[in-house]
Amino acid sequence: MPQKVGFLYSGSNNSMGPLLAKFSMLLPSNIPVIPKHADDDYSRLRSDAGDLISQGVDVLVAAGGPVSAFAAREATATQPLPKTRVVFTSVTDPVGSQLYPAGGNLTGVAGMTTELDAARLRILQELDPTRTTIGVLTNPNRPNVAKQLADLTAGKDPKLTLVAQPAGTLGSPGTGQKVRQAIQNLPTTVRALLVTADPLFNSRRPDVIPEVAAKGIPAIYQWSEFVLEGGLMSFGPSIDEEYSAAANYVVKLLNNPRLPAADIPLYQPKKFELVIRLGTATTLGINIPQSLLVRAVLIP
């Protein structure tokens, strides 16, 4: 029977296209990829994972953060052996979350996502130390969002005031509008914005970036794609590197049908970049400190 791969994605259909293309081109051309996107409605992920499994996929890719990985774990938990093998992407602390090596059928990319939010906050402070009130855009439906905020608060400079701003309503066609409203409703005291690492905001880049620009405040993001599309700064690993690693893992599993996924060690990103868009800085009237310029990849 021909092999096939399932691609479970938590985000929107529009944002899935580029990710799926990056991933698919790294697989052998004779391997079909069956995609499923939840359009940021996380309640759909469990049934979508089950549907892909019922179609007999040889490997299930759980893309778009921990919510997809948890859904894949739940969908395979009651399977008889051998269970469908799962490769997840961009998951914070997969060991602590019991995604790896529990059950032996999951592996993937330990994405260094929320772990770097504190570093992003420090970069915002370095950009302009006089901006002492910083907004923190969060996804209230993210697993462990409370810990994400607690870690930020515990490690911040005492001079900083953080204003948490939850965004998004899952399971609704108005998710993008809710994200835009959350940015619009930031208090006027907020002088800069940390858009926390979360697949919701990556999925909703067309809503996030213009709204932040309209607000006229500097912001920092997880992925460089935000900067390529007009945002000011990003700090983190490369999304291309993470999906390349996931594709390599899938190929290894396809070539070794009896290999338990957990026998493949977690992939840790190796390259982290600060990316700054100079044109956006000019529009905002911001002078980037030399200490950031010498560390950054600069985009006109």
Q: Which residues contact 235 (CB under 8 A, 6 or more apart)?
A: 116, 119, 120, 123, 220, 222, 272, 273, 274, 275
* Beta bridge partner(s), residue 108: 88
> Same topology for domains 5-111+239-271 and 114-237+273-299, yes or no?
yes
Distance of CA 244 to the CA centre of its chain: 15
Which CATH class for the 114-237+273-299 domain? alpha beta
pLDDT at position 174: 65
Angle CA 97–202–114, to nearest 5: 35
Residue range 32-53, pLDDT digits in tens: 999 999 999 999 999 999 999 9
Question: pLDDT digits over 183-231, tens only?
Answer: 999 999 999 999 999 999 999 999 999 999 999 999 999 999 999 999 9
pLDDT above 90 for 102: no
pLDDT digits (tens, 9 = 90+) for 129-148: 999 999 999 999 888 888 88
**CATH superfamily ID and name for 5-111+239-271:** Response regulator (3.40.50.2300)
Ranges of each domain in the chain: 5-111+239-271, 114-237+273-299
